[in-house]
């Protein structure tokens, strides 16, 4: 399965899929928070960091089966 994780944060959705036993063949992620990206890459070293969502070229991605996206929670989590 091919997964695109937008506004990925530290990878909560992807971690849930991993714990559910789903096999991810392609894993792309996008977030602009530097520290969240460091945690995400530690958890999912094979995932492709796509940078800001504004610069993702969808023509260069494989066919995506699942798109996840996090709710912007900065105002709630600080």
| Active site residue ranges | 73
C-alpha span between 39 and 10 (Å, rounded): 6
């Amino acid at each position: 399965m091919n997964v695109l994780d937008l506004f990925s944060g530290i990878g909560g959705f992807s971690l849930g899929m991993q714990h559910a036993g789903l096999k991810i063949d392609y894993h792309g992620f996008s977030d602009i928070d530097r520290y969240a990206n460091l945690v995400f890459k530690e958890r999912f070293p094979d995932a492709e960091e796509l940078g800001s969502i504004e610069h993702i070229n969808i023509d260069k991605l494989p066919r995506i089966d699942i798109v996840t996206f996090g709710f912007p929670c900065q105002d709630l989590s600080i």
